[in-house]
Structure 1
Amino acid sequence: MEDVAQEPVPARLLLVDDEPNVLASLSRVLRHEGYVLHTAENGPSALAILEREPIDLLLCDFLMPDMDGAELCTRVRQQWPNCQRLLLTGQSDLAATVRAINDGHIYGYLAKPWDDDGLRLTLRQALQHQHAESERKRLEALTRTQNQELAALNATLEQRVEARTQELKQTSDMLEVAFQELRKSYVTATKVFSSLLSQRFPPRYQTNAKVGALVQAFATEHGLDEKLQHELELAAALYNLGKLAWSDRMIASPAEQLTGEQRELYRRYPTTGENLLMSLEHMEGTARLIRHHREHWNGNGFPDRLQGEAIPYGSRLLGLAVDFIELQRGMILPQQVTRPRALELLRKFSGRLYDPSLCRAFIALCQDKAPDLESHGRPVTALETRQLQPRMVLAQDIRSTSGMLLLHEGKELTAHLIEKLMLLEEAENQRYTILVYREDKDDE
């Protein structure tokens, strides 16, 4: 709704003179000026009107019986200081006029007989002065109030900023914890899905966990940024997603023995895996790593024949880890090769299939670290199930004999979980060796 402009309130004038003909003349001159006019014939009558009516300007005769104009102006100034005051005088006593100006603080005076135009102009100027003075006082009061509020605000501003900063920090910390928990749950869910995916493959070909351990160990050893580590962890768990549509016979066949249509299907599995993940917004980086993990350093890989540095770094690392594990499982060559032989083959094809500097660093890691590589550089202890204690933290995933993920790395053990593991051992008639992080006293 638009604001409706208010009509200006007309000025209210009080005319005081003991001569009725003078009051009549003044009223006639001012009748069409838009004022609200009140008249009185003496000082007491004027004061009575002021008691009951709001008056903006007083115009009074100087010489009046009982109470002269100077005394009336003084009384008005004392009781109604916002009322503007003017004298109308026919005498030339300068001393009396000065007393009226000093005691009554009058705005000015008009001599009898007056000039009508001069009278109108003087009244307009007096009212304008009164309005300006009222506005000045209003602004001064507003300024004082604002200065007081500003002083109070400044006195507490630092405390309020500090309190707000602490509040925001606490909120940020809580959100960070919630985000880390959510991402951990997301990774765990992906690993569970990966373990289900692995059931499609023979036990010897269930490679995701080993590939994941390798890339995580390398990422930790070389301080890769957190985002890339996260994408690599998910890519290692899902890199063979595109193989789900293969026949059992093709799954069980080494890559070097595939021919014809099978080889075409094989060359498409990275893009198939990427396509299955692209609809998930947070998996775009992971999907890209999976798409290019079969590219070769010399440009003869697939699917896009990328060469050298054009291949994403994470894809180059993932490809090395996949080949290292799959060579040992007999998934590339017709026979399984030993760990030393697999490392020898990686070294042989460095500069052709693999990034030379990355390949050297990867081989060095595999030669220096224990075969499992699940410790991420932290000290671990291998325990039997009956030796486990609540609050110990797993240093590797625990899987059933069929490859199903039971507990993920980083899980804190409870008495209930330990009991479940012991019951599972009895059901599967086997003994688990569990890796847990060792809390050395030197690390405390």
Structure 2
Amino acid sequence: MTEQAGIPTAELTTVLLVDDEENILSSLRRLLRHQPWRILTATSGAEALAILERETVDLIVSDARMPGMDGAALLSQVREVHPDCMRIMLTGYAEMATIMSAINNGQIYQYLTKPWNDEHLVLTLSKALDHQATERERSRLERLALEQNTQLRLLNESLDSRVKARTAELQQTSDMLDLSFEELRRSYVTSTEVFSLLINQRLPKGKQTNQDVISLVRAFCEDQAIDIQLSRDMTMAAALYNIGKLSWSDNLIVAPADLLYQKNRATYRSYPTQSESLLMTLEPLQDAARLIRFHQERWDGSGFPDNLKGEAIPFGSRLLKLAVDFVELQVGLYLERYLNRDEALLFIRNNSGKLYDPNLAESFISTCVNYLTDVKIGDPAVRAVSTRKLVEGMILARNLHAENGMLLLNEGKQLSSQLIEKLIAFEAVESGHYTVFVRDPLAG
């Protein structure tokens, strides 16, 4: 194997120079002799095509005017047969027709004029080869992304119950994103939703929250005509907000936040910053990672990790907290008690100005009323009252459950004075507090 400057010929970039004038070829060879390229030459289009049949050529520089086959015709054929070969035309004639033919049919990278500027010619060739290397790397990464997407799909189908295996598979998908994010720039929002499905593998089916949080955030952004870039960042934040919990034990990851705050305070308070740290190395996710960091801040400044207050909390983080809390209240990840949707919205309204941005909270409730078909809180005929404000004849607008989840009364049940007394007594025994959604008997 022949070598140039100690480098095997097979590893050198190959440049083919085509000109019918030997003195031009000699000048170009002298100019390029110090470049780390293998230089081939041809004195006609036919000879150039013959060389291309037996050699791998990265860049061809062809004169425009040659007997028989001109440069435009040659470069057009090169494009058809060897599309990966970069194409540059060298011309001493200001003939627009020839140049346009080369551009349209040969799709040349650039054209240079004779006499050339040595520095400009070398720089142009170097840029062309750099561009080619970038395109080849992009293609390689696209193939790699497709291969790893296939592997990811197969891994998803084979996930078992062991935490170690699921965590390893999530790490593999994270590595895949790191390798291929350039190719997935236009679809990385979808990619994060795929990863959210992997996060759900750590949770029992009834506590898998990410998809519901994503849906709510999207509904709000559409309802409020939120800027498209913020909507994308919000969707990615909703998909990955709890990725920092993946290192937790099974017992911790399914425990409600109020218990974690009492018994595992440091661990619980660390998950937003851990989530941010995992995502900050990926450029397309950096804005979403920032929203995740602050999504447990509270309007009154009592949240974490930085005790931000009011509008110092990013808008997207305030919205994410509303969506996360609304969903987690319903699956036992916020309080020990499971709330229904109306109770969760009532919780948000009651904590508006303390935990939540008051204006944003009302907009969020309005979106939920429009988006969720079974929400009663938006019905003007429905009221949420305590047991001691119940009146005989009122009709239940929602099933009523005890603190332990047991069904006490069905929706549609008309309350009698005896039922009201029993509810008050049962509430006292449980040391609980029931919120009852009712219709007045005369309401439509």
Question: TM (normalized to structure 1)?
Answer: 0.43
Bigger relative CO (Cα 8 Å, ≥ 6 apart): 1
Question: TM (normalized to structure 2)?
Answer: 0.43
